[in-house]
Amino acid sequence: MNKKAFNETIDIEPIRILFVCLGNICRSPAADGIMQKLVEDAGLDNLITIDSAGTYGGHAGDLPDARMRHHARRRGYELHHRSRKVRSDDFEDFDLILAMDDANYDNLFRMAPSPEARQKIRRMTDFSQRLLVDHVPDPYYEGANGFERVLDILEDACSGLLSAIKDSKL
């Protein structure tokens, strides 16, 4: 079935998703790249908008960490996102804001300008299907295995997220 025909069989509302980690150079740009590929492969890129940001702005303008880009590329993901800090407008511009861990969840919750904005914040691992994890660990100070583990978790959670979107279970 071609993408267009597949897309016509799915009735979903457009959704805007923001992935968030600390510096926006490892986990959230990887989630962004993985989800973008899943969405494009499903022919839903006209309905699902994806971006990523960090709660810390010290890497603003930087490409994702070279190690994450290397490991992602080996799995078929190209990460070209430029790091940016979460902005107050993000709470209005996005329908779903996904934190990679509890520290970023708490930071986002404090940054949210309203109770309605807080309702948009969820944990990335809420969408995990087969891996039983409660957060996406920061691989920055880990070796190759840390980056591979993060990609495993994100592939699982992004797949679960796409399923939830298709099933209108958000």
Q: Are 17 and 50 in contact (CB under 8 A)?
A: yes
Identify whether 27 is a catalytic site residue.
yes
The one catalytic residue among 32, 51, 138, 156 = 138
What six digits make up the tokens of 147?
Answer: 């980056």
Q: Are 98 and 80 in contact (CB under 8 A)?
A: no
Q: Which residues contact 26 (CB under 8 A, 6 or more apart)?
A: 64, 65, 68, 138, 139, 140, 147, 150
Residue listed under structure tokens 């940001």: 53
CATH 3.40.50.2300 correct for 14-166: yes
pLDDT in tens, 70-106: 999 999 999 999 999 999 999 999 999 999 999 999 9
The one catalytic residue among 27, 90, 123, 156 = 27
The residues pairing with 121 across neighbouring beta strands, listed in sequence order, are 97
**CA-CA distance, 20 to 40, in Å (whole number)?**
21
Indicate the pTM of the whole model.
Answer: 0.93
Residue 1 confidence (pLDDT): 37
Q: φ and ψ at 152, to 5 degrees?
A: -60, -50
The one catalytic residue among 21, 26, 101, 156 = 21
Identify whether 138 is a catalytic site residue.
yes
Residue 154 confidence (pLDDT): 98
Q: Map out the domains of the chain as residue ranges.
A: 14-166
pLDDT in tens, 108-161: 999 999 999 999 999 999 999 999 999 999 999 989 999 999 999 999 999 999
Identify whether 130 is a catalytic site residue.
no
Residue 10 confidence (pLDDT): 62
